[in-house]
């Protein structure tokens, strides 16, 4: 059973999703995580019906990415991706691009 793998100290509640796909994050969790209107959350479908949500700060994420990619030539990466895409298109539609 799923609940057997979740430690008892985790805050958990069952919530419903409305017709528009919205869920309400329980107030105690919003307060604990300091979630407010406009807070950014990353949601991932991990596997086996397990969804994970993580509070993110766009500015901190941008700073971290800037540090991580500091010594990488982004233009070269973009050029390689564009080249790979064009090659895949040529392969898939060889009758047109011969």
Per-10-residue mean pLDDT for the chain, 98 residues long?
58 91 93 94 89 90 88 88 92 79
Predicted local confidence at residue 36, as pLDDT: 94
Token look-up 């959350």 returns: 41
Predicted local confidence at residue 7, as pLDDT: 62
Given this structure, which CATH class describes domain 2-56? mainly beta
Predicted local confidence at residue 38, as pLDDT: 93
| In the chain, domain spans | 2-56
Cα separation of 97 and 10, whole Å? 56
The answer to whether the CB of 54 falls within 8 A of the CB of 41 is yes
Q: Which helix (H) or strand (E) holds 63?
A: helix 58-68
User: Residue 22: helix, strand or coil by DSSP?
Assistant: coil
Cα separation of 95 and 52, whole Å? 44
């Amino acid at each position: 059973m799923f609940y057997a793998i979740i430690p008892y100290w985790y805050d958990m509640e069952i919530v419903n999703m409305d017709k528009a796909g919205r869920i309400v994050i329980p107030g105690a969790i919003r307060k604990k995580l300091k979630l407010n209107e406009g807070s950014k959350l990353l949601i991932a479908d991990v596997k086996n019906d397990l969804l994970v949500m993580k509070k993110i700060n766009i500015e901190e994420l941008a700073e971290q990415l800037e540090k991580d990619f500091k010594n990488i030539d982004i233009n070269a990466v973009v050029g390689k991706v564009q080249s790979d895409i064009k090659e895949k298109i040529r392969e898939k539609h060889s009758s047109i691009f011969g």
